[in-house]
Amino acid sequence: MTPRFAGSTALVTGAASGIGAAAAERLAREGARVVALDRDGAALERRYAGVPDIVRVEQDLGGPMPDEFLDSLDSVHRLGDLRILVNAAGVLHRSPAIDHDLGTWEHTLAVNVTAPYRLSQLFVRRRLRLGGPGVIVNVCSIESFTAAPDHVAYTVSKSAMLMLTRAFALELAPHGIRVNGIAPGVTETEMNRSLREDAAAARRLTGRIPMGRFGVPGEQAAAIAFLASPEASYITGAVLPVDGGWLTA
Amino acid sequence: MTEQERVAVVTGTSRGLGEAIARRLLGDGYRVVGISRGGTTGITTPGFTDLRADLTDTDRCEELVDQVLAATGRIDVLVNNAAAMIYAPCWELEPALLDVLLRTNLTAPFLLSRDVLRHWVRSETTGTIVNICSIESEVAWDSPPQAGYAATKGGMAGLTRALAYDHGRHGIRVNGVAPGIIRTAMAPPEAERDLGTRVPLQGRLAEPEEIAAAVAFLCTEDASYITGEILYADGGYRLP
Ligand SMILES: NC(=O)c1ccc[n+]([C@@H]2O[C@H](COP(=O)([O-])OP(=O)(O)OC[C@H]3O[C@@H](n4cnc5c(N)ncnc54)[C@H](O)[C@@H]3O)[C@@H](O)[C@H]2O)c1
């Protein structure tokens, strides 16, 4: 059986760590050529040096992105049939809302909302120019639907990403470009390592999860791969929670 | 234990989506027990068992899981797909007809799920349930009017969440798939013609196989952290 992503290229952001890394590896394992983008070049190097189907792009998504961004990537890395975009890069700043400073707020919105918005836009322009199907998967969060303490900028950004997903899905559906998201629950990555290592906090959190455990990045990647695959051909505008049941109650 | 031995129970397999789900799970290596009122004559694949039952008959529903277990020894997947549809303005829907909708679309899934869950918990095994919901689990539909059906599909979403919440600890996952308008006998003919225009994704209705693929995904290990969710495979129907 041909691997389901054979012949296509996938651009994955936040690919140096956690969910983005698991997604990059999963898509590559299923035949995609993967362009792994992250601001942390050293971590990309550690993870992917010598891996045949994954090329590395060190890029900070916190700043403005020129219209030519994908063209310049193309000239170095041959984007080829770039069909899949996974927006996984994200930042989480923890502090009470009254202590959030403007810089934190703006940086969170820049990385978690503006960057996926710009990349999706450029991805779609390229897709429409070259023709053929395309699919975007945005890594949203259970906080696209609920709040969490001390996360105001993050919660706002992830809720924005939910509607970004739906708005792009609606506009792009006539062109056969599908746009979906996943909403991870608490997943074992760097983003929440300190929280998970605090035994009392970890117990409190798992006690809140019907399945009684955290998710692992591979489980998020599996859902991303499903939504990116032709198996999901009638699914667009959906944000699939992968949360051990968190959102049921 | 190989995939080959796994058993999936699917209701409403005589046609349409249920038939597509049964075929898909057979293709994925399950033995499939298809429950339908009139029998499933369309599927002749080895590994398929045709079981007849009228799901409006609650007493019969209460025997079904035991009957399947006696024959197969195990159940790994339950797909509650069978549903009744009645078109009527809400002010004309007779209580007796509403009762048919409630029994077929909610009571039967509840009883089958309850008995399968009981079996999994008592035997310390696990499995997964997929409930076929609808876009009407969330939004209304008026052409033709079908408030009774909408009520049952809203209830199906609640059933999915409640069963998932209660059994997550046992490693049992319960999810829903909410199809958009499918090209099956259930969509009225005028739907086939006109309703495509209401679907953002290329203005087309869903093929049953596209919905079956979503069900199949939720049954795999790839969905191991997904529970209590309703996956909308609706071509973007609810977006505008
Ligand atoms: N871990 C969870 O519990 C959880 C839950 C819900 C949602 N998410 C989301 O999942 C996504 C991935 O997070 P993760 O948990 O894998 O965390 P992570 O910290 O392990 O990975 C995030 C990656 O994004 C990169 N990144 C951050 N800012 C960047 C920037 N400005 N430019 C380029 N790359 C940047 C980081 O370098 C890192 O490699 C995020 O969008 C996060 O919001 C995570």
Mind listing the pLDDT tens digit for each residue in B110-137?
Answer: 999 999 999 999 999 999 999 999 999 9
Nearest CA of chain A to the CA of B133: how many Å? 15
Which pTM was predicted? 0.90
Residue B1 has pLDDT above 60, yes or no: no
CATH value at residue A230: 3.40.50.720
A36 occurs within a structural domain: yes
Of A210, A222, A232, the CB nearest to B165: A210
Q: Could you give the CA distance from residue A177 to residue A192 in angstroms, rounded to a whole number? A: 33
Residue range B154-212, pLDDT digits in tens: 999 999 999 999 999 999 999 999 999 998 766 666 767 677 888 999 999 999 999 99
Nearest CA in chain A to B213: A231
Q: How far is CA A245 from the centre of its chain?
A: 20
A246 occurs within a structural domain: no
Using the Cβ of A212 and the Cβ atoms of chain B, whether some distance falls under 8 Å is answered with yes
Residue range B165-180, pLDDT digits in tens: 999 999 999 999 999 9
Q: What is the pLDDT of residue A177?
A: 96
Using the Cβ of A145 and the Cβ atoms of chain B, whether some distance falls under 8 Å is answered with no
In short, whether A159's Cβ falls inside 6 Å of ligand 1 is no
Q: Could you give the CA distance from residue B88 to residue B90 in angstroms, rounded to a whole number? A: 6
| Closest among B134, B94, B155 to B230, alpha carbons compared | B134
Q: What is the pLDDT of residue B2?
A: 46
Mean pLDDT in residue range A85-106: 93
A201 occurs within a structural domain: yes
Which ligand 1 atom lies nearest to the CA of residue A158? Answer: 43
Contact (CB, 8 A) for A243 and B236: no
Span between the terminal Cα atoms of chain A, in Å = 41
| Candidates B30, B149, B232, B237; catalytic one | B149
- CA angle, residues A175, A176, A181, in degrees to nearest 5: 115
Give the mutation candidate from B161, B177, B201 for the A interface (greatest A CB count, under 10 A). Answer: B201
Q: Could you give the CA distance from residue A176 to residue B25 in angstroms, rounded to a whole number? A: 27
Residue A42, classed as helix, strand or coil, is: helix
In short, whether A186's Cβ falls inside 6 Å of ligand 1 is yes
Concatenated DSSP letters for B118-156? HHHHHTT---EEEEE--GGGTS--BTTBBHHHHHHHHHH
Mean pLDDT in residue range A56-71: 96
| Closest among B39, B8, B11 to B25, alpha carbons compared | B8
A174 occurs within a structural domain: yes
Is the N-terminal amide bond of B144 cis, ω within 30° of 0?
yes
A3 occurs within a structural domain: no
| Closest among B34, B32, B30, B25 to B55, alpha carbons compared | B34
Greatest Cα pair distance, chain A, in angstroms, is: 55
Nearest CA in chain B to A231: B213
A2 occurs within a structural domain: no
Q: Tokens representing B105?
A: 């679309």
Q: What is the pLDDT of residue B185?
A: 64
Distances from the Cα of A143 to the Cαs of A61, A103, A148, in angstroms?
Answer: 21, 21, 7
Residue A6 has pLDDT above 90, yes or no: yes
Residue range A215-230, pLDDT digits in tens: 999 999 999 999 999 9
Residue B29 has pLDDT above 90, yes or no: yes
In chain A, the number of structural domains is: 1
Residue B4 has pLDDT above 60, yes or no: no
Structure-token match 């990403």, residue found? A161
Residue B3 has pLDDT above 50, yes or no: no
Catalytic-residue membership of B149: yes
Mean pLDDT in residue range A67-74: 96
- Which domains are present in chain B? 3-233 (3.40.50.720)
A247 occurs within a structural domain: no
Q: Could you give the CA distance from residue B135 to residue B153 in angstroms, rounded to a whole number? A: 8
Distances from the Cα of B156 to the Cαs of A42, A119, A234, B53, in angstroms?
Answer: 49, 38, 21, 21
Beta carbons of A220 and B236 less than 8 Å apart: no
pLDDT class of B42 with cuts at 50, 70, 90: very high
A125 CA distance to ligand 1 middle (Å): 25
Which range of residues forms the domain containing residue A58? 9-241
What is the value of ipTM here, to two decimals? Answer: 0.81
Contact (CB, 8 A) for A83 and A9: yes
Residues in A closer than 8 angstroms to B167, CB to CB, are 210
Nearest CA in chain B to A247: B228
Mean pLDDT in residue range B20-48: 97
A62 CA distance to ligand 1 middle (Å): 13
Distances from the Cα of B205 to the Cαs of B74, B146, B192, B201, B228, in angstroms?
Answer: 36, 19, 7, 9, 26
The packing angle between helices A69-77 and A115-130, to 10°, is 70
Instruction: Share the mean pLDDT of chain A.
Output: 95
A248 occurs within a structural domain: no
Residue A8, classed as helix, strand or coil, is: coil
- Regarding beta strands A54-58 and A82-87, do their DSSP bridges make them parallel or antiparallel, or are they unpaired? unpaired
Mean pLDDT in residue range B34-43: 96
A168 CA distance to ligand 1 middle (Å): 21
In short, whether A28's Cβ falls inside 6 Å of ligand 1 is no
% of chain A exceeding 90 in pLDDT: 93
Using the Cβ of A219 and the Cβ atoms of chain B, whether some distance falls under 8 Å is answered with yes
